[in-house]
Structure 1
Amino acid sequence: MKKKSMLALLTLLLIAGTVLAACGSVKKTASSGKSGEVAPAAEQVFRINFSSEPPTLDPGIAQDNAAITVLHAMYEGLTNVDSSGKSIPGVAETWDISQDGKTYTFHLRKDAKWSNGDPVTANDFVFAWDRALKPDLASPYAYQLYYVKNAQAYNEGKITDASQVGVKAVDDYTLEVQLENATPYFLNLTSFVTYFPVHKSVKDNEKWAADPSTMIVNGPFKLTNWTKGASLELVPNENYWDKKDIKLTKIQISIVNSGATELASYRSGQLDFAGKPVGEIPADQIDAVKKELPSELSIKGVATTYYYLFNVTAKPFDNVKIRRALTMAIDRQKLVSQVTKGGELPAFGFVPPGIIGEKQEFRTEHKDTDLLSENVDQAKQLLAEGLKEEGLTAFPKVTLTYNTGENHKKIAQAITDMWKTNLGIDVTLENQEWGVFLENRRNLNYQIARAGWGADYNDPMSFLDIFTSTSGNNDTGFKNAEYDSLVKQAYASNDAKTRMDAMNKAEQILIKDNNVIMPIYYYSNTALIKPYVKGVIIDYAGNIFFDRAYIEK
């Protein structure tokens, strides 16, 4: 597909959202060479594989896709988001917004309950937000609460009185939130995991989020079993206020980091869903799957970016010329057409297509090719200059780290081969288990590392604020006062042009001026789903929601 056509399709999909559903069901046998589809059982069981295990199921510290996917089934925030990205009622039935856009008053439903039968109250939200902001929790997403008045000062220890933070329980079922500035997308934020309520029982048990018996939740499902490294099992929460609309009786999640095994399990009928965003279909199998299972395969563009991080505090990547040389010396189009093969688009910026701008998409108004280009000759020159500045006569020993996954490995191999061919340098590859990988990234215990980021809400800020000096998700060591100032300016303004201009300048500092990250491609979601599975939603950012799914009999 031509790039122009792909972008047009991507835009349409991101606006409308994607509901993965298919009609009809034909029973096939595994020996036929086709999908091992089996007739749906009488019970409503949905089976899916995760390629990595959630490091935690604590909404206050979760930051990875696996954990966030499970948490969306187990918890519910003040609002939910429908497939088009629109905010709809969650625990809050209604809300009022002040004329200046700075005060939100949420009116909570009185039938919302925790899985142990306790009522969900406004105080549960106050407790959860306060907990996420406390410095000792070290929540990587604490900055997502900085929109709330005095939240940043409280998180940074500049004020210690929690009552000064702009969140207050007026009564059990009324929550008042005061913001630092009018924020057009604040309602969207209240459906994000860091904004979820947390039951007060957790304050007496540091290990509550690792044991199903101590996880008191308020969402559609609850966790009944977690066999570490192997599986998770969810069943309906009988105390969920909207339990009448929950049709699945069980969600079975296997944990296998082999895409080949996942695809084989789908073909044999052991899985109902395979592929992204939580699993993986091997890139070298996509062409075969397109021919074998065309009606079950979905390839959709999503607002997510695949990139590499540079540890700018570690030599030789404290030198911007060396970072830029490696970034310019790869062929992104060759990578997506010959290696990933899933409809991805070459990325030259951080904010992906599909994210709104002032009047059109941000990426349409601010071309990513203005930030970065591919040029092997210039890359060679920059590398030589950078090494000379560092007092080096040859490129030092360097390691590229990625989390375990067949496609991550293939991408890393292809990129290091390009570096070898185009720059004459050798880079060692190292794969790490997901939890270890995240921890090493957080602690800057790496040189180059794989990363991916999807939109938490539809605004460029969802991407750009992660590289501020105070962000818990900034795993690069990059600190830039002008960058922080531009992000703060965009936070503070309610004028679309002012905001987008500020964020455009911030992205220029991130990539064009400092080359902190190496953009590689804009994601697509490549997934297989059985025709009898209905109601699984992949949103514009590539997040998967299966809490309202069901098996068509």
Structure 2
Amino acid sequence: MALSVGFATVLSACSQSATSNQQTQPAPQPSAETSPAPEQAAKPAQVLRANNFSEPTNLNPNAATDIYSNNVLLQVFEGLTRINKEDKPENAIAQDIKVSDDLTTYTFTLRDAKWSNGDPVTANDFDYAWRWVLNSKNGSEYAYMLYYIKNAEKVFKGELPADQLGVKVIDDKTLEVKLENPTPFFLELTAFSTYYPVHSKTAKANPDWYKNAGADFISDGPFKLADWKHKDKIVLEKNENYWDAQSVKLDKIELNMINDTNTELSMFEGGELDMAGAPVSSIPFDAMTALKDKGVLHIKPKAATYWYEFNVDKKPFNNKKIRQAFAYAIDRKSIVQNITQGGELPATAIVPPTMFPENEQGLFKDNDVETAKKLLAEGMKEEGYASIDKMPAITLSYNTDDAQAKIAQAVQDMWSKNLGVSVKLENQEWNVYYDAIRQGNYQVARMGWTGDFNDPINFLEIFKTKGGNNHTNWENKQYMDLLNKSATVQDPAQRKAVLQDAEKIFIDDMPVLPFYFRGSIYTQSEKLKDVVISGMGNAQYKWAYFE
């Protein structure tokens, strides 16, 4: 007998614009006899003004990988499920979900949802989008997110024809999905952007449909893309064809691209923005204490780890001991106490404590300078470097941002003091910077990861193979085998032990240098209500409104 999974769904939306959200100034106070009735009072403008920090790199949901893109996509698209206010998946485009007794076959029945142009959302739109992701020629870096589907990995690698994929369109309103193994978090995956549908007719006719606002940018979420002034501003408007449009309270969202956190905070304090900080930006470190004292700083734990990535193909970081030395020579406690000041936890692991509570203690000793010096000497000997000055010059890269600069400067000083190495700092605007990282044009670079779904595999599978979101070029067969094994282990405790063994291998090889576990830090207008910041650090404006 099949298990029927039904989620109650309560949906609403947000919007913003350059206009103020303050109420209209009242006329001079009339006499009591002529006072207007309460219902005649001016209503606040339902327009949200926020900051997207940077230009999205890609507004094709099946290809996007960065937070600046996903912050937009989360508002304009919707998958079979959506993560609700309680951080649980609930039915979205899927009206009903049935799961087979062996937990490997999902049958999704779609509701009468429409695209922003009025066309019906069909099962074929999901099927087309997922197959596009699994066509390796399209270069989707998140293709591995679909590997839970039967034969998906083999189809992507060309080992099986596309017709062997475990996805079947039964009819316009019914989609059947077979999985490789029972996957308890599958309904969280179907809420993620890589699993979003696209308007298949338009995507087939115009492969560049997602590059600009216009008639071809068709979406199925609570908002639609009204305007996109590249590197300046994105404007979203309420989608009148959204299936739950009656729950959407905001009329417009204006997402600016202000890539300076001090300017962002200044605009917020001047009434030009309604939020500052999370989900895609940060609060300037120097402003933390004052905002805390005013009681207007919000800090929420999230599944996120800040780290530096080593390019293991670039000397001297091709050597494991040298990577370890640079990792051990960091005083994380000092950084979170004196620089970031946002309640971060020092990290000597990559999976956040929200998933592995034990990782609050970590997998190696923080600020272990003596061990770092010993490892550096051993690594230099293995590589034939007679002295520090014989090592290749070292460049630490980070994206242009005051917060990143302060951390990088502190790390530069620690490496100089503790290891005696000279480090050059290099920064670039985000899109240029991220492209260089993806091309492997770096030695050690600032990155990090915010969870896409609430399971530790999300942090570990990034590094399962080279390519995709793994920019380090690191690969380890034993690590890969453990991740594969975890997919077949049904006992939660045993599965956790397998994943923790994999993380130990990863940390021992040190392709990334973990710094701290992050939280969502932000401030917002007291009139703005029901912006939902999830445990993954995403902001859903769907429920938002001004009172």
The answer to whether TM tops 0.5 is yes
How does 1:178-189 map onto structure 2 within 5 Å? Answer: 178-189=178-189
| Residue aligning to 1:349 | 349
Per-residue Cα deviation, 1:296-332 (whole angstroms, up to 9, x for no partner):
3201221100000000111100001110011000111
Q: Is the 8 A contact 1:115 1:222 kept in 2?
A: yes
- 1:105 aligned counterpart, secondary structure: strand
Segments of 5+ residues of structure 2 without an aligned counterpart are 1-20, 24-40
Q: Provide Cα deviations, 1:204-235, integer angstroms capped at 9, x if missing partner.
A: 22321111112110111011111111110000
2:367 is matched with 374
Instruction: State whether residues 143 and 470 of structure 1, in contact with CA within 8 Å, keep that contact through their aligned partners in structure 2.
Output: no
In the other structure, the counterpart of 1:363 is 357
Distance 1:166 1:342 in 2: 44
Among 357, 371, 376, the residue aligned to 1:383: 376
Alignment of 1:75-90 (within 5 A): 75-90=77-92
Output aligned runs, 1:36-435, within 5 Å.
42-110=44-112, 112-160=113-161, 162-200=162-200, 201-213=202-214, 214-291=216-293, 293-294=294-295, 296-355=296-355, 362-364=356-358, 368-392=361-385, 393-394=387-388, 395-435=391-431
Counterpart-to-counterpart distance in 2, 1:368 and 1:499: 20
Q: C-alpha separation between the residues in 2 aligned to 1:224 and 1:382?
A: 55
Distance (whole Å) between structure 1 residues aligned to residue 178 and residue 126 of structure 2: 14
> C-alpha distance in 2, partners of 1:26/1:345?
38
Distance apart, 1:84 and its partner CA: 2.2
Q: 1:529 aligns with which of 521, 524, 529?
A: 524
Does structure 2 retain, via aligned residues, the 8 Å contact 1:274–1:280?
yes
Decide whether the 8 Å contact of 1:40 with 1:551 is kept in 2: no
**Residue 445 of structure 2: which of 439, 443, 449 is its match?**
449
What is the CA-CA distance between 1:441 and the residue it aligns to? Answer: 1.3
Report % sequence identity.
Answer: 46
Task: Indicate the residue corresponding to 1:506 in structure 2.
Answer: 502
AA in 1 matched with 2:323: R
Larger Rg: 2
Counterpart of 2:219, as a letter, is V
**Deviation string for 1:375-417 (max 9, x for gaps)?**
1011111111211211112243111111111101111111111
Shift of 1:368: 4.7
Which structure has more RCO (C-alpha within 8 Å, separation ≥ 6)?
1
Please report how far the alpha carbon of residue 40 of structure 1 lies from its aligned counterpart in structure 2 after TM superposition.
9.3
Given that 2:309 and 2:446 are in contact with CA atoms closer than 8 Å, whether structure 1 keeps it comes out as yes
Q: Give the match's secondary structure for 1:370.
A: coil
- The alpha carbon displacement at 1:166 in A equals 0.5
The Cα RMSD (Å) is 1.8
Q: Is the 8 A contact 1:532 1:551 kept in 2?
A: yes
AA paired with 2:505? Answer: I
CA distance in 2, matches of 1:64, 1:248: 25
Which whole-Å deviations, capped at 9, do the CAs of 1:5-43 have from their partners, x for residues lacking one? Answer: xxxxxxxxxxxxxxxxxxxx999xxxxxxxxxxx99742
Answer whether contact 1:233 1:252 (CA < 8 A) is retained: yes
Q: Which runs of 4+ in 1 moved over 6 A?
A: none
Check conservation: 1:40, 1:532, Cα contact below 8 A: no
Q: TM-score, normalised by structure 2?
A: 0.90
Q: Which residue of 2 aligns with 1:6?
A: none
Contact 2:466 2:473 in 1 (8 A): no
Q: Which runs of 5+ in 1 are unaligned?
A: 1-24, 28-38, 356-361
Aligned to 2:454: 458
Against the structure 1 CA distance between its residues 310 and 470, is the aligned structure 2 distance closer, same or farther, given a 3 Å change threshold?
Answer: closer
Deviations 1:38-89 (A, max 9, x none): x997421001012222111001110111111110110000001112221111
TM-superposed CA distance for 1:480, in Å, is 0.8
| Contact 2:224-2:237 within 8 A present in 1 as well | yes
Residue correspondences, number: 507
1:436 matched to 2:462? The reply is no
Q: Secondary structure at the match of 2:378?
A: helix
TM, length-normalised to structure 1 = 0.89
